[in-house]
């Protein structure tokens, strides 16, 4: 996965170092420590090899750090005290697209995956529970089966939100798989009011997170931890689209982009009632 370069900053470098340590060095040490409980030579070797790898690829990690800082700034703006003042004014006399960068989706999905892993482990350890570290073949099949079910549930929840809150007909909802995105999708070919579209986009994350969290709580093991983290990571594109749409005035209409990751702001001419427009 390539990362488009941004202007290098010291914050980006520090962020790149932290990400490398958390997402590469720490998992490697945990795995080696599990297999070599008394021998510290492999751990020292792993630390040295990690340092060499970082020096060799420092420009790449720096670029990723800059990109993560940009994404973080965008996410934090959602919680900022002046978020209402940051709402963008669009020219509503014509269609305008709000697209999401695929690199940003890939990076955010990785961040969400590892963040959910660390949070789940921390919460479970603080409750003085034990985690089953074995990964038998039956767990692999459970993981694959649950991932398939979660994918179906995820897209079905998009459709359910469109039917319930958007009042769109079933014929306006289309499912499929985009090879260039390597992702499944639920596309709505009717415009939705911004507030409804926000629910349409984020509803799977709201519902699936507690479901897989309960599975992890009842069966704390490697397969359930991976299921929990992957389920959350699958929602990275939805989160970024939600943040983009949050910048739109709430009285406007939004339409799924027909061929790209993102949405289209519709002209004010379509601002009629949902029931009237969708009929």
Burial string for 9-43 (b: 16+ CB within 10 Å, else e) reads eeebbebbbebbeebebeebbeebeeeeeeeeeee
* pLDDT for the residue numbered 273: 42
Per the CB < 8 A criterion, the answer to whether 234 and 150 are in contact is yes
Q: Is 0.75 surpassed by the pTM of this model?
A: no
Which pLDDT score, from 0 to 100, does residue 207 have?
A: 95
82 forms bridges with which residues in the sheet?
none
The predicted pLDDT at position 129 comes to 72
Q: CA nearest 109: which of 261, 234, 240?
A: 234
DSSP 269: G
Question: Looking at residue 162, what is its pLDDT?
Answer: 92
Quote the tokens at residue 7: 């202007």
Instruction: Identify the CA nearest to 116 among candidates 267, 1, 235.
Output: 235
Average confidence (pLDDT) over 8-17: 69
Most confident of 67-71, 87-91, 237-241: 237-241
Residue of 15, 19, 114 whose CA lies nearest to 73? 15
**For the segment 23-67, what is each residue's pLDDT rounded down to a tens digit?**
666 666 666 665 555 566 666 666 666 667 666 666 676 676 777
User: Residue 1: is its pLDDT beyond 60?
Assistant: no
Mean pLDDT, rounded, of the chain: 77
Tokens of 158: 């998009």
Given a cut of 60, is residue 272 above it in pLDDT?
A: no
The CA-based dihedral angle spanning residues 129, 135, 140, 142, taken in that order and rounded to the nearest 10 degrees: -30
> Cα–chain-centroid distance for residue 196?
20
CA separation for the pair 271, 193 (Å, rounded): 8
Residue 120: pLDDT band (50, 70, 90) is confident
Residue 123 has pLDDT above 90, yes or no: no
Cβ partners under 8 Å of residue 15, min gap 6: 65, 66, 68, 69
| Helix 236-245 with 58-79: angle, nearest 10 deg | 50
- Cα distances from 196 to residues 29, 68, 94, 117, 253, in angstroms, run 45, 29, 21, 31, 9
Q: Give the pLDDT score at 158.
A: 95
3-state helix, strand, coil in the chain (%, to 5): 65, 10, 25
d(CA 26, CA 193): 44
């Amino acid at each position: 996965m390539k990362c488009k370069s941004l202007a290098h900053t010291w914050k980006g470098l520090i962020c790149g170092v932290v990400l490398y340590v958390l997402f590469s060095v720490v998992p490697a040490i945990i795995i080696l420590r599990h297999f070599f409980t008394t021998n510290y030579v492999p751990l020292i070797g792993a630390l040295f090899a990690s340092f060499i790898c970082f020096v060799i690829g420092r420009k790449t990690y720096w670029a990723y750090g800059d990109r993560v800082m940009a994404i973080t700034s965008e996410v934090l703006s959602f919680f900022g005290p002046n978020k209402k003042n940051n709402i963008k004014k669009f020219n509503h006399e014509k269609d305008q697209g709000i697209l999401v960068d695929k690199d940003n989706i890939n990076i955010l999905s990785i961040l969400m995956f590892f963040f959910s892993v660390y949070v789940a482990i921390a919460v479970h350890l603080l409750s003085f529970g034990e985690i089953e570290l074995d990964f038998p073949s039956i767990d692999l099949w459970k993981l694959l089966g649950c991932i398939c079910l979660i994918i179906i549930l995820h897209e079905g929840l998009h459709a359910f939100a469109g039917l319930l809150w958007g009042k769109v007909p079933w014929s306006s909802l289309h499912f499929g798989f985009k090879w260039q995105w390597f992702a499944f999708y639920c596309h709505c070919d009717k415009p939705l009011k911004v507030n409804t579209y926000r629910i349409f986009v984020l509803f799977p994350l709201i519902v699936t997170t507690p479901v897989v969290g309960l599975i992890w709580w009842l069966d704390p093991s490697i397969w359930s931890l991976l299921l929990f983290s992957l389920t959350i990571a699958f929602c990275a594109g939805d989160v970024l689209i939600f943040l983009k749409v949050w910048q739109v005035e709430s009285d406007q209409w939004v339409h799924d982009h027909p061929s790209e990751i993102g949405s289209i702001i519709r002209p004010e001419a379509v601002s009629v009632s949902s029931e009237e427009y969708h009929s």
